[in-house]
Amino acid sequence: MSARNEWGSTKILVLLLLAVQAVTVVFAWLLNPLGPKSETEYALLLAVDLVAFALISYVGRLGGSGKDPRESYVLAGSAVVLFFMFLVLLA
């Protein structure tokens, strides 16, 4: 079974991802839907939302059946989320 502190960091990761999801959903609804810039922003926000979900689902699916999530996947997923969020700021 995973050690306690590993579970703690997983818990934090999941909560962070949920927070990121919440923020993207709020922004997606607040966007002014007309104009090319907002379309790009919406696409990126949705991308963040989706990848965050995929990561939570991966952790949840493996955590629930007792296996450890693969660290490389978690890191890659988090990197993609951060990258998309960075793109949102750029757009």
Partner 1 sequence: MGQDGGRDQSEDEVSRRSFLKRSLGLAVVFVVAGIAAVTKSLWTPSGAPTGAFPKIKVANITDLQANGYVTFDYPLVGESNMIAKLGEAATGGVGPDGDVVAFSIICQHLGCIVGYEASNSHTPGPAGACPCHGSVYDLVHGAKVVAGPAPRPLPQVVLQFDEATGDIYAVGMGPPTIFGHNTGSPDVSYDLQGGTPVTQ
Partner 2 sequence: MGEEGDEEHDGALGRVARWFDARLGLSYEFLRPAPQYAINPFYWLGALAVVAFVIQSVSGMLMMLYYVPDPSQAYQSTQFIFQNVSYGTFLETVHLYTAYAMILLVFLHMMRGYFVSVHKKPRELMWMTGMLMGFVTLGLGFTGYLLPWTVVSKSATDVGAGMISALPQPLSNFLSFLVVGAGGDAAELLRFFDLHVIVLPAILLVLLVVKMYMLEAHGISEPVTGKNDADKGRKLIPIFPNVTFYLAELATLFGAAMMLFSVLFPLVLQPAYTATAASHYTSQQPDWYFLWIYQLLKISAFETAGLPVALTAVTLIFVLLLLLPFLDRGKVRRISQRPLYVTVGLVLVAEIVVLTIWGYLTPGEVIPDEQAALVLGGTALAVVVISLLSYRLVLGRLVGRLGTVSPQGSAIRSSGIWTAAAFSFLLGLGALAMGSAVNSFTGLVSTGGAMGSWAYLAGASGILAAAMLATAYLLYRVDLGTGAVKRRIRAFEVGWRE
- Binding to partner 2 by residue 51, rule CB under 8 A? yes
DSSP 11-72: HHHHHHHHHHHHHHHHHHHHS--SSHHHHHHHHHHHHHHHHHHHHHHHHHHHHHTTPPPPHH
- The count of residues interacting with partner 2 (CB under 8 A) is 24
SS3 86: helix
Binders of partner 1 in range 72-91 (CB under 8 A): none
18 part of the interface to partner 1, by CB under 8 A: yes
Residues that bind partner 1 (CB under 8 A): 1, 4, 7, 11, 14-15, 17-18, 21-22, 24-25, 28-29, 31-35, 42, 45-46, 49-50, 52-53, 56-57, 59-60, 63-66
